Structure 1
Amino acid sequence: MSSNVMARTTTRTPELRRSGGWAAVGVATFSTAWGGNQFTPLLVMYRADGGFSALTADLLLFAYVLGIVPALLVGGSLSDRFGRRPLMLPAPVLAAVGSAILVVGGSSAWALGVGRVFSGLALGLAMAVGGSWIKELSSPPWETAAKGAGARRAAMSLTAGFGLGAAVAGALAEWAPAPTVLPYAVNIAVALVAWVLLLRTPDTRTPQRRNCIPAGAHSIFGCWNAISAGTWRRFVRVLVPVAPWVFGAGASAYAVLPALMADHVAGAPVAFSAVLCLVALGVGFTVQHSARHWGLDDRTGVVVALSLVVLGMVLAAWAAAVLTVWAALIAAAMLGAGYGMTLLVGLQQVERIAGPDDLAALTAVFYSLTYLGFAVPAALAFLSRSLSYPVMFGFGAIAAVVSLFAAVGGSRRPVPIS
């Protein structure tokens, strides 16, 4: 891990060093992840009741990426310069606004798309700014924690929100009244509670002035995203092959498989979709929690992460061919393990190679690349006109193998010192 783990800090309060101050940011991250993924199990409902085609529904799932990416890249970089709290405070509010728009949107694809974009804006801020804030609050002088604790806590906060948001929304939509209202109302309440908790959380950075682009650095957004050349090379060689598989695996588990199984679980298709979300993300959460005991180095972590994705794609091809409940559950579990490990390995690599002035910016770039994987459901729906899902998942397994060899080759070079 880089020796410069802390940026310039605000007044250091000794009593907070072991107080778990990161938990409030974790709750806020959890609430925005909840808002981002609550829509996923409801896709089955919108297809049936709203009359949306599979492609339209998958495009609505992908729509929140339009909010996530700019919020990631701009919000993360600005928080490196102006502080974490000012950029993180809007996140729970935007999550609540997004859920409110989804309530009033009804069966309008355009309104639902707008609501998804707001959910994406919230999640983008939480991932880049909240993740960096959690990492810093898990480090001295705020807390003495084990190596990699910040990355694990950030990953687990996201995964718990993704999983519980989908599970609760799916259960409420299947069995509770007002299925297009109540699931979103719960998220609004959770998000507002999270916003209140953030108000008293200490900021870990103070506003600062700095040169726009230091010598030997690369910048995507002018003064606010300068990354050293050595860090950038490591990022491209190792993290670029890994990142798209985070949600490539996740979305395959909780968006593609539920759609394929909808006609085979006719009694409760929305609930089964929620179950697949919960299985995939529950396994992902467990992997992230237990990985600290495995003692994996950088290269071994990459190998394990992408090997799980390869196995997940192979099992998804099998599940798509046989279309049984148990096959879908097994495939979702393995894809969830791949999701969980690729996310954790990616965040830990970012934490190691980033300097104090580009932690949130580099985290934002990584997360932006992970969301390329959310194009997988729409891409497969489009290609299904000429290819079967087992064949497409088979190609996915081959692509994951190629990514594995590329990332392992890149990880042989030493980690740059920031």
Structure 2
Amino acid sequence: MSSRLAPAPWFRVAAAMFAVGWGANQFAAMLLVYRDEDGFSGEAVTGLFGAYAIGLIPALLIVGPISDRIGRRRVMRPVLVLSVAATIVLIVGGHSLAVLLLGRLMAGVASGAAFAPGSAWIKELSADRPGGTGARRAALALSAGFGSGPLVAGVVAQWLPVPTLLPYLPHLVLMVVVVAIAWHAPEPPARPVDHSRQGREVASVLRSRPFLLGILFTAPWVFGAASTSFATVPTFVEIGVAPIAVTGALCGLTLWTGVLVQPFGKRLGDPRRIIATGLLAAALGLAVGVVIARTGQELLLPVAALLLGTAYGLVLVGGLTTIEQVAHRDDLASLNAVFYSLTYLGFAAPLLSTLALRSVSPTGLMVIGAAVALVTIPVALAARVTRTA
């Protein structure tokens, strides 16, 4: 292939993150399918959705630091294979709760092993661009994959036969293309790493004001806001037409909104302002959820999705930008791993909401969530970011 036609090095890694994100979140459109086809309870379905994080968080924390030591490509290649295997398990386990759980755990491990090293790799391949470019590119790739998977899966599951099988096939086709693009993606020359220094600096960042105030309390809102948009708020109303496709479309709208608002986040500059604006959008989205719960107006679902998608995108890119600014290059994957682990705690939101709705009204649940988002804004603004080499 001509070098003029070859994809940019960073784009090849972004394609891998996009494809793994597609495979991870295609399941979001399948919640109603498994509830209707297999008779699984709401708790079981939302539990399967959130179980993904059980595989993801340990993989993030273990594989991110490993990639700092052995290189990004040696980590990402087996991850692409694992992403394919996870989708195959979901196909095979279409009517078995246990097998579906295994597939979700495998998808979580693949995601955890991809996102922190991949984000660090894109940042390294974007070193010739202005600060924050690598973080935005990684966030765009991740968000686009997360949004496209359920959008396509929802359409296929709604209108084509065998809804527990065919929705997963587009991901397998995508992976064939992406493996060809990403398998030989270049990585910067390895640099010797002082592991004792690395451990001290990572620990120092985790105790720092930017991390404790700007990341720890805000990161769970990334996927907490997003998953609430398409897995909780729609349950407040009866979707009369094409409910599976609508669920997939709401998921796609939420996450693609997160993609489209990220350039706006760049113009805000200061990551504290980016995160605070995202939290404000989350509070407004949950306020719309209050109106939906009280009136049953399903036409307001896209409005809530737009606002909660804005929250997702801004808090994600603000957090990645903060990590990029405070982390030494050799610590980047390790700290990205911690950040992503905190964001994925938000995937527990639908299950926790389902359990909370046994004793709290939908209106009360949304009001509590909006209040927490608003209280967190001054905490985020109190963080200070000091740039590190």
Superposition TM-score, scaled by structure 2 size: 0.94
Deviation at 1:204, TM superposition (A): 2.2
Q: Which residue of 2 aligns with 1:11?
A: none
1:188 and 2:164 aligned: no
The one-character-per-residue Cα deviations of 1:190-242 (angstroms, maximum 9, x if unpaired) are 12322222222112252745333568x2xxxxxxxx51525631211211111
Deviation at 1:145, TM superposition (A): 2.2
Match of 2:146 among 162, 184, 193: 162
Paired amino acid for 1:160: A
Match of 1:272 among 235, 241, 246: 246
Q: Which residue of 2 aligns with 1:250?
A: 226
CA contact (8 A) 1:138 1:150 kept: yes
How many residue pairs get aligned? The number is 385
Structure 2: runs of 5 or more not aligned: none
CA contact (8 A) 1:80 1:360 kept: yes
Deviation at 1:316, TM superposition (A): 1.7
Paired amino acid for 2:149: G
Change in 2 beyond 3 A, CA 1:80/1:369:
same
Match of 1:41 among 29, 33, 52: 29
Q: Which residue of 2 aligns with 1:260?
A: 236
Q: Which residue of 1 aligns with 2:361?
A: 388
Q: Which residue of 1 aligns with 2:87?
A: 99
Q: Which residue of 1 aligns with 2:261?
A: 287
Change in 2 beyond 3 A, CA 1:192/1:71:
farther
Deviation at 1:42, TM superposition (A): 0.8
Change in 2 beyond 3 A, CA 1:19/1:102:
closer
Change in 2 beyond 3 A, CA 1:230/1:127:
closer
The one-character-per-residue Cα deviations of 1:158-217 (angstroms, maximum 9, x if unpaired) are 1111111010000000011221111112112212322222222112252745333568x2
Paired amino acid for 1:178: V
1:229 and 2:213 aligned: no
Deviation at 1:127, TM superposition (A): 1.1
Distance 1:246 1:77 in 2: 22
Q: Which residue of 1 aligns with 2:71?
A: 83
Q: Which residue of 1 aligns with 2:9?
A: 21
CA contact (8 A) 1:239 1:366 kept: yes
Q: Which residue of 2 aligns with 1:179?
A: 163
Match of 2:333 among 353, 360, 364: 360
1:61 and 2:49 aligned: yes
Deviation at 1:291, TM superposition (A): 2.8
Distance 1:19 1:35 in 2: 22
* Partner SS for 1:179: coil
Paired amino acid for 1:399: V
Paired amino acid for 1:389: P
Deviates further, 147-156 or 31-40: 147-156
Paired amino acid for 2:312: Y
The one-character-per-residue Cα deviations of 1:37-72 (angstroms, maximum 9, x if unpaired) are 100011011111111111110000011111111111
1:125 and 2:113 aligned: yes
Distance 1:97 1:52 in 2: 24
Deviation at 1:417, TM superposition (A): 3.6
Q: Give aligned-pair identity as a percent.
A: 37
The one-character-per-residue Cα deviations of 1:227-275 (angstroms, maximum 9, x if unpaired) are 15256312112111110100110000111123333xx223311011011
CA contact (8 A) 2:33 2:164 kept: no
Distance 1:214 1:339 in 2: 30
Change in 2 beyond 3 A, CA 1:171/1:246:
same
* Partner SS for 1:55: helix
Deviation at 1:100, TM superposition (A): 0.2
Distance 2:295 2:102 in 1: 37
* Partner SS for 2:202: strand
Distance 1:309 1:136 in 2: 31
Structure 1: runs of 5 or more not aligned: 1-14, 218-225
CA contact (8 A) 2:271 2:319 kept: no
Distance 2:257 2:193 in 1: 43
Distance 1:414 1:331 in 2: 31
CA contact (8 A) 1:96 1:192 kept: no
Distance 1:116 1:334 in 2: 28
Paired amino acid for 1:242: T
Q: Which residue of 2 aligns with 1:10?
A: none
Q: Which residue of 2 aligns with 1:211?
A: 195
* 1:367-406 superposed matches below 5 A: 367-406=340-379
Paired amino acid for 1:267: V
Match of 2:323 among 321, 325, 350: 350
CA contact (8 A) 1:41 1:255 kept: no
Distance 2:288 2:338 in 1: 30
Distance 2:13 2:344 in 1: 22
CA contact (8 A) 1:284 1:341 kept: yes
Distance 1:214 1:268 in 2: 52
Match of 2:133 among 149, 155, 158: 149
Deviation at 1:155, TM superposition (A): 0.6
Q: Which residue of 2 aligns with 1:136?
A: 124
Q: Which residue of 1 aligns with 2:186?
A: 202
Paired amino acid for 1:61: F
Superposition CA RMSD, Å: 1.9
Paired amino acid for 1:279: L
Distance 2:205 2:239 in 1: 51
